[in-house]
Amino acid sequence: MKDTELSRRDLLNAARVGALGAATIGSLGAQVAAAATGPQPHGAGLFGIEALPDPLARRVRWAVVGLGNFAVGQMIPAFLQAQHARITAFVSGNPGKAADLAARYGVTRLYSYDTFDQIAHDPEVDCVYIALPVGLHAEFTIRALKAGKHVLCEKPMASTSAECRAMIAAAQSAGRQLGVAYRVHFDPFNIAAADMIKAGDFGTVRHLIAENCLEIDPAYPPHVWRLTRALGGGGSMFDYGIYGLNGCLMMAPDTTPIDVSAIYTTPRGDTRFAQVEGGVQWRMRFAGGMTAQGTSSYAGAHVNRLLVAGTGGSLAMDPANVYDRNRALRRRPKEPDLVIDTVASQPQFAGQIDGFSLAARDNVPHRTPGEMGLRDITLIEAIYRSADAGGAPVKV
């Protein structure tokens, strides 16, 4: 079949943002739906946020906690593109690095991890972005909430579902917003794909297949903590496979998982994986008969794919959720194949920052709330329990 091309402009025009559907895992589904529906941020911008930038004095003020590779390379520069937010503080254990970045970005407030709690008295900090290793998410999120600040925490939300619940309870007690940084929900490419599926472009969705693999390098500093259970929480499923899990639920949100099964695929004798799993394959069944399955690995060439197969066609997203250029192939009977090419997905970071800023400022629900992070960690824990039991199904 002849391919046709959907331009980035066409894709952006097609992206429509609605409230998160009721992706469910038992009673958690109601919590996710309740946290993510209701009044939406006002305005008609691409991400469901105001189209015009705020003046500097009205922008929501942020502290960034943790100045690692991802924060410095992706999130901090995204604040320059944001329309409703600005950075006013850095929190780091490296004073020299913090000072250098502060000079570069015009930040005047610097905190260490020991002095972090002093932000409670800082009127120039409204929101806190947690960019620390997973094992530190719960501690610093709860400390920030107790300090009276709104918190956007990097994914995965925490090391355990118990920590996630404690974080949600702290947000409720403080009367503050808590979000999980699932940037994909602010990516025009993924938004458009989800809208196509919800509109019935592929009929009834029957199968979803996610593949997320990379070769982890213990000599590369940003990878080191990911191989330590105390900091990483888990292995490949926590760090990379969660994209596939969350992505499947984003693409087919109106379904109810009933059980999961999984097996470990960690290479035998690989010393990198003394503390965390190096690979896992999982399968999830849903009440309506749909299935989702995924592969997550720290021991293979880079793969980032998501396939949606329905009664009326398919959508092969490859790559599905990288930083800079996502692509997809749409196939439907008796129609030319359609190539969807975003050219760049970078707006997802700024959109995520602005979306949370407006949720915090205007007290409206956030698109990726703490309840979503709890749902995903609960599912991952079930995946691990099944793998520990040799693949026996675990009800969810």
Q: Which active-site residues does the annotation give?
A: 155, 243
Tokens read off for 200: 């019935």
As a whole number of angstroms, the distance between CA 128 and CA 118 comes to 13
What DSSP assignment string belongs to 225-243? GGGSHHHHSSSHIIIIIHH
Beta bridge partners, 213, equal: 297, 303
Using alpha carbons, list the distances in angstroms from residue 145 to 169, 172, 178.
10, 9, 8
* Cβ contact 304:212 at 8 Å: yes
Give the contacts of 163 (CB within 8 A, at least 6 positions apart): 137, 138, 157
Nearest to 167 by CA among 187, 146, 196: 146
Using alpha carbons, list the distances in angstroms from residue 353 to 182, 255, 318.
11, 28, 25
